[in-house]
Amino acid sequence: MSQTLLEMAKDLVLAQIQAKTLPPDDMHTALQQTYTTLMTLKAQEDSDGSVAVATPKTPPPVNWRKSMTKHAVTCLECGASFKQLSVRHLKEHGLEGRSYRLKHGIPRTQPLAAKETTSRRKEIVQRARPWEKAPTYLKAQERAAQAVAQKTGRAQRKGTSRAKA
């Protein structure tokens, strides 16, 4: 062998990253798995001269968009379906919302809830309009009303002075 097993494993993993079949975040794990597989194959080859190729049983990457349907969200870790992926459920997998999204390539703006649940919540918020009850919003409205009153007051004064002249 002209290359060491570690160099071969490195080359294989880099080829997967360049072909975009492996995200760079998973490089370390893939490198370890590839190296151990090559070591096992070398040991088998040295012991009896024949190589038995074993296919690793890693699940194929799942498109996160397919896991979010109108009525349910499928957990990409365990395959269970929910209306919403709760913090409690994600803790069972040792994850939180942010790490779950990073692991599966989900954008941070994407809710971890069924589309129907998300749209129902949006409707409720639109009807309740909680931003109109916020103190900062109320203060801004008062300032805007005062500014408009001052402008109209100036305009009326200017208009009356023109009428007298």
Q: What is the distance between the alpha carbons of residues 96 and 81, in angstroms, rounded to a whole number? A: 17
Residues 113 and 140 in one domain: no
31: nearest Cα among 16, 51, 47: 16
Q: What's the number of domains the chain is made of?
A: 3
Structure-model confidence comparison of residues 56 and 100, the more confident one: 100
Closest listed residue to residue 38, CA positions, set 9, 63, 67, 59: 9
Domain assignment present for residue 82? The answer is: yes
pLDDT above 70: residue 94: yes
Q: Are 84 and 73 in contact (CB under 8 A)?
A: yes
Report if residue 103 sits inside a domain: yes
Establish if 106 belongs to a structural domain. Answer: yes
* pLDDT for residue 120 is more than 90: yes
The answer to the question of residue 56 being in a domain is no
Question: Does 53 reside within a domain?
Answer: no
Q: Looking at the structure, do residues 68 and 42 belong to the same domain, yes or no? A: no
Within this chain, do residues 115 and 139 fall inside the same structural domain, yes or no? no
- Express each pLDDT in 11-69 by its tens digit: 877 777 777 666 767 777 877 887 788 788 778 777 766 555 555 555 556 688 888 99
pLDDT score recorded for residue 165: 47
Contact 45, 52 (CB under 8 A): no
Residues 70 and 100 in one domain: yes
Residues 39 and 84 in one domain: no
Percent of the chain with pLDDT over 90: 36
Q: Where are the alpha helices (DSSP H) in 5-164?
A: 5-18, 27-48, 64-67, 87-92, 97-104, 115-128, 135-164
Q: Say which CATH number the domain at 109 has.
A: 1.10.10.1550
Domain residues for 68?
Answer: 64-119
Q: What pLDDT, on the 0 to 100 scale, is given for residue 39? A: 80
My answer on whether 114 and 70 are in the same domain is: yes
Percent of the chain with pLDDT over 70: 79
